[in-house]
Structures are given as C-alpha cells and as structure tokens.
C-alpha cells in the first residue's frame, strides 16, 4: 500500500506561538505512522506558525511573488527548520525519514504551471525510505518566488506515486457543516461551500476551502481528519470526511 499523508501545520505547531513545534502531538502522529503497515509512505507537512506568518510579512502567496533574496531565504529557512523537527520526530519513532525540500527541486513557469520532478522521491521509496516534504517557497519565472502549498504537493505526489490512500490530518475531525458536525462525504465543492471558510490562523494557502479544492482536483478518494483519526486512516479505515475527487 502506498500512502501520502499531510500533517497540517496547525497540528504540528502551536499556531498562536511563533515558530513553536507541538512536540507531543507531533510525536503521537509519528508513532502512529511508524506503527502502520505501509509499504510506501510519503509525508508532507504544512507551515503552521513557522512559514505562514513569514510569508504574510513578505506579502508573498501562491500567486503574488517576491523578488527579494533575503525574503526567500527567510521563508525557506524557517520551513527547513520545521522540516528538521518533523523528520527528527519520525526518526525517533523508527521511521526511515529523509528530508526533501521543494525549494531545491520545484519551480513554476511564467504561466504558473508547477514543474516538480519526482524521480528522486520515487527512488527513495523504492529503497525503503520515507520522503518528508513541506510547503515551501519556490522559484517562479518572471515573479521571483511564490508559495507552493503542502496541499498542492500532496495532489502532485499522489498522482506521481499512484497513491492508494491520501489523507490530510487537520485540527478538526473532518470538514464541518454549519452546526459543527462532520460532513461524511463531499463530491463537489458546492456540497460544503456554505460551511467552508478561511483558517482562524494566518494562512496564505486557503485554509480548509483550499484543502477541499485540492483534494477534489485529485481525481480519487481522499480523507480529511483530525489527529485522533490518524491510526484509523493508516489502518485503511474510512475516517473524517471522504473527498470524492
């Protein structure tokens, strides 16, 4: 079984505390992934209180670029620091985790199309490693550099590695309706449009609405769930909200 899972930035960091890792939550997620019977695992993580505030401070997003080298270094550096913490937690749990920094391998063309070769990731999987990627800032022809979200990475890699299961671990137990109840299944964005809003923390990648749109574009079923659902997801069970691409 090939699994691509994203650990949301607001799950693995303390979103109200700048650049603070949520050590206990991260360790719990790492342990669940280590205990899963997964042949090939790719982990992607979000930016949380590391990358989002810095990207916002530099006025850079997925569409608005930045030309300042110092700003690019600032954003890339803080994401590498968070990635080091995630890789370390996975390694401590017994996962053969290795870092892969999108800033070094991906770029956007002048029309915004993502160019992201995945040969290295596929080779790492073939040799028994677990690639760990993250939302990042990448070069963008004519625009300097723009943000590549973890959600876009998930959908891109899921296609490349022919993933059997895709999951986004968020701070909520699934996509919630107006009453706070988990929506069990979404087939079109309109199924939950009234309930979807922006994140309650600084997020330059679209919050839950962006997650749902990205998974609907995947073309295969995926899941949005909370930290408590990680074991069920890894075990192959339905959990949280099923997104029917």
Annotated binding site: 6-10, 47-48, 52, 150, 207, 211
Other C-beta atoms within 10 Å of 24: how many?
8
DSSP 17-68: STT-B-HHHHHHHHHHHHHS--SEEEEEE--HHHHHHHHHHTT--SSS-B--
CA distance 106 to 94: 29
What is the end-to-end Cα distance of the chain in Å, rounded? 19
DSSP state of 109: -
**Sign of the C-alpha dihedral computed for residues 52, 54, 59 and 62 taken in this order:** negative
CA distance 161 to 3: 9
Q: Are strands 114-115 and 107-108 parallel, antiparallel or unpaired?
A: antiparallel
Give the residue ranges of the annotated binding site for substrate. Answer: 47, 52, 150
Token pair in block for residue 237: 């069970």
Give the residue ranges of the annotated binding site for ATP. Answer: 6-10, 48, 207, 211
């Amino acid at each position: 079984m090939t699994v691509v899972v994203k650990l949301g930035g607001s799950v693995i960091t303390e979103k109200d505390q700048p650049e603070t890792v949520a050590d206990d939550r991260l360790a719990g997620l790492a342990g669940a992934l280590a205990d899963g019977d997964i042949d090939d695992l790719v982990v992607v993580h979000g930016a949380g209180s590391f990358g989002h505030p810095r990207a916002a401070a530099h006025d850079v997003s997925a569409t608005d670029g930045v030309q300042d080298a110092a700003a690019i270094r600032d954003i890339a550096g803080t994401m590498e620091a968070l990635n080091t913490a995630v890789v370390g937690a996975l390694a401590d749990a017994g996962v053969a985790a290795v870092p892969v920094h999108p800033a070094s391998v991906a770029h956007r063309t002048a029309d915004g199309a993502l160019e992201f070769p995945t040969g290295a990731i596929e080779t790492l999987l073939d040799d028994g490693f677990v690639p760990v990627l993250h939302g990042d800032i990448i070069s963008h022809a004519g625009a300097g550099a723009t943000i590549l979200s973890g959600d876009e990475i998930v959908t891109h890699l899921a296609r490349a590695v022919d993933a059997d299961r895709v999951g986004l671990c968020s701070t909520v137990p699934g996509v919630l309706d107006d009453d706070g109840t988990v929506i069990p299944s979404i087939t079109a964005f309109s199924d939950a449009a009234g309930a979807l809003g922006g994140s309650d923390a600084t997020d330059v990648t679209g919050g839950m609405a962006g997650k749902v749109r990205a998974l609907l574009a995947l073309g295969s079923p995926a899941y949005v769930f909370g930290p408590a659902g990680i074991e069920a997801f890894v075990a192959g069970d339905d959990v949280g909200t099923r997104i029917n691409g």
